[in-house]
Structure 1
Amino acid sequence: MPRTHLPSTIGLRVVAALAQHGTASAASEALHLTQSAVSKQLKSIETLVGTPLFERTSQGLTPTEAGVIYIEQARIALGALETAAVRVAALHRAQPAILVHVLPIIGDRWFIPRFSRFAELHPEIEVEFTTYAAADTVEEADAVFRFGEGNWPGWRADYLLGRDVILVGAPHLIDRAGGINCVQDIRRFPVLEHRQTPLRWNDFAEASNLHDFAPIRITRFAYYSLVIRAAIGGQGLALVPRSLIPDEMESGQLVNPLGLGFQSRNCYWLTTQATKPVSGGLATLCEWLLHEARQTEPMEGTNTRAVGS
């Protein structure tokens, strides 16, 4: 493909940010660009691709079928560039930085807001972050935040948070529909879900004795941050780990009707390579992260799994 037909790096970042944040204003803030620049970059890439990547709605931007494909490849390309940057930077260091791969929702809602405390405690430990899911970025990382049941061959997994999943909705949505006075009332509401965790509603229905549950409408999102925002906007009920939304619960933007929820098998884990020696800096970082997680979500017993390759 001629170079003039290739998207720019900033264009790829704009597409990824729009997919994650859902609006041009939020994406521009995240990228430190003007909204005009974001719109210009999106228009340029859509012209290059020859089809819209997002549908414009009153609630924001939703990826089209073509957009889902393009966003996935954009994230892979950006991940490869991040990997290259990390490798080059490491050539000039006496002590290599710790490379951590962070899931966007954990980075945005839990890890990054706390990381300044670690940096103040341990200024001698240098940490770098990646967020795009390029395979080699994940495999070469010293620590990886993952979502699942805790089984990844060759990786040691320490439970982080997210088992306590609760049903949430905006008060105005629930009030407009006559309230939720029993679990059967949930059938009257549209629901929201993350594309990669669609079975959570089945788990919730089973835990709540909600037999033959068939919601009136399901809206799926590629990012958990969009699920949360859509729930706040009154677009439907959502299932969200309690530890990701303390501010929204405290402010009343979201409520947990009847205290409904369940303990999920799928949650967030901190993983390190089982066969790779753990440096002192990495051990310090992991110990701090797990301590912070227990402050967020106290638990009893052991929550560690080591799986052989």
Structure 2
Amino acid sequence: MGNYPMVCGKYGICSNGQCSCPRSSSGAINFRQINNRQPELGCSEAIQLSCNASSNHKFLNLEDVTYFNFKVDIRGTNLNSCQEACLKNCSCKAAIFQYGSNSSDGNCYMPSQIFSIMHNEKDKTHYNSSVSIKVQIASSVTSPSVETSPGSTIEGKNRFLGPVLGSTLGIFCVAVVIGLTYFTYWKKKKSVTVEEDYLDHVPGMPTRFSYEELVAATDNFSKKLGEGGFGTVFEGSLKDNTRTAVKCLDGMGHIKKSFLAEVESIGSIHHVNLVRLIGFSAEKSHRLLVMSI
């Protein structure tokens, strides 16, 4: 699957061509798949991070994994110092630590958002890597007790009302969360479907390929030609042996505003000294352009 940043969605782990959510060795559920039938859509936090409750921030540690991108924020450090720096920075979502033979002399990266995480193939990367994802731990609030005399009517009412109010509020909160989650998913799914169908009604639109076809054509995006202009370009070959350059666009969530504009503009250009757009792919979060070379 290469190092495409959204190949398994946000917080998704890519390993042996499969997508999964980060799991804690203690059995705690910190992340859930957005759609169990489509694991490539990524994962959502069980409890959203809050700067107002930073004292309840902990780390879910993942060994032998790496990130699709790495920018050094702290050099010559160790894992504990990297994690401490991330805990002190509210915008930090994870402490990504890489080192060679000395774990006390590594590099630390603290991204403000997490896309896909990948299994670290040490024989290819030649470094050790771990990802410590910041998670929110639920806080327990204990209400102060009120002393009353034995047999007090107030005490009896409090004992009765406490469980009733607690259960009612709990059921109401669960219903609200389920309703908002379903509405958000439905709205997102409808928006993506409408935008993708829109592409099929644009006059003069070039050939539309499936994402799987382009994975096969580029040998799993293995030969990189370059990057820039909102994406990375890979060499490929179609079934009819046409040599192509496949451009994977980054951050093109709004098809009409960004991706479609590029498809229409490039597709309308025909010049002897320029590459020609012969197709594209738009499936879920994947936005790709196919050009002849």
Per the TM superposition, whether the score is higher than 0.5 is no
Judging by fraction of residues, say which structure has more helix: 1
Bigger radius of gyration:
2
- Into which bin does the TM-score normalised by the smaller protein fall? under 0.3
Q: Normalized against structure 1, the TM-score is what?
A: 0.20
Choose between structure 1 and 2 for higher RCO, CA contacts under 8 A separated by at least 6 residues. Answer: 1
Q: Normalized against structure 2, the TM-score is what?
A: 0.20
